[in-house]
Structure 1
């Protein structure tokens, strides 16, 4: 019974994650452009919100990884950790071009993969 409740909670969390990623992915695409030189007055605020969103998404994944990778390893935790370390270093160094590159080449594809996988699991359309 308790395992069933956990599975229901995990599925609800994945549905919320899917809904959130629908908004987060375009925000990441926008911030990449802004970090490469088209900064706006709210760029820093948007960037902080995106960081929080990425962190929340990873927290949800950590709690639902057994469902996400049930049949095969779609999301590789080691790759995520390596990317986050590089991302954190670029943030600490205030290197906006490196931040934009990591977002574009690593984090954005990761978020798109997660969104796609979660949409399959929850039977949602992307």
Structure 2
């Protein structure tokens, strides 16, 4: 049990470091999807989606630690934001993707804050 908790905290440490860069990149992709597309926008978008998926896996594996003592991450609202973004990406509509990224950025910012709070 103690080993599982230690592994969760280690995963959250990595997430905390990784999250700031992901959020920064999400803000950049919003600009690109809002009419400032570049030659590598699709490749950049894929790398961001891969990073989001990795963070989702970490959240799923560390929810117990994240919400230890108090709710820091609401699983239902987190999942709803992810599903909405996923739908927009599936439609391949730049404007919709930009809008959903704008909505999910605060969710991932809060995740970063929560991870840092737990690992202190």
TM-score range relative to shorter protein: over 0.9
Q: Does 1:7 align with 2:5?
A: yes
- Point out the more displaced range, 18-27 or 86-95: 86-95
Q: Does 1:112 align with 2:100?
A: no
TM-score (norm 2): 0.94
User: In the TM superposition, what are the counterparts of 1:9-28 in structure 2 within 5 Å?
Assistant: 9-28=7-26
TM-score (norm 1): 0.90
Counterparts of 2:81 and 2:116 in 1: how far apart (Å)?
23
User: In the TM superposition, what are the counterparts of 1:37-76 in structure 2 within 5 Å?
Assistant: 37-76=35-74
Counterparts of 1:85 and 1:98 in 2: how far apart (Å)?
13
Residue aligning to 2:100: 102
Residue aligning to 2:88: 90
Counting matched residue pairs gives 120
Q: CA deviation at 1:96?
A: 1.0
Q: Relative contact order (alpha carbons < 8 A, sep ≥ 6): 1 or 2 greater?
A: 2
Q: CA deviation at 1:84?
A: 2.1
Counterparts of 1:91 and 1:97 in 2: how far apart (Å)?
10
Counterparts of 1:88 and 1:116 in 2: how far apart (Å)?
23
Q: CA deviation at 1:120?
A: 1.2
Could you list the runs of 4 or more consecutive aligned residues of structure 1 that deviate by over 2 angstroms after TM superposition? Answer: none
Q: Structure 2: 5+ residue runs without aligned partners?
A: none
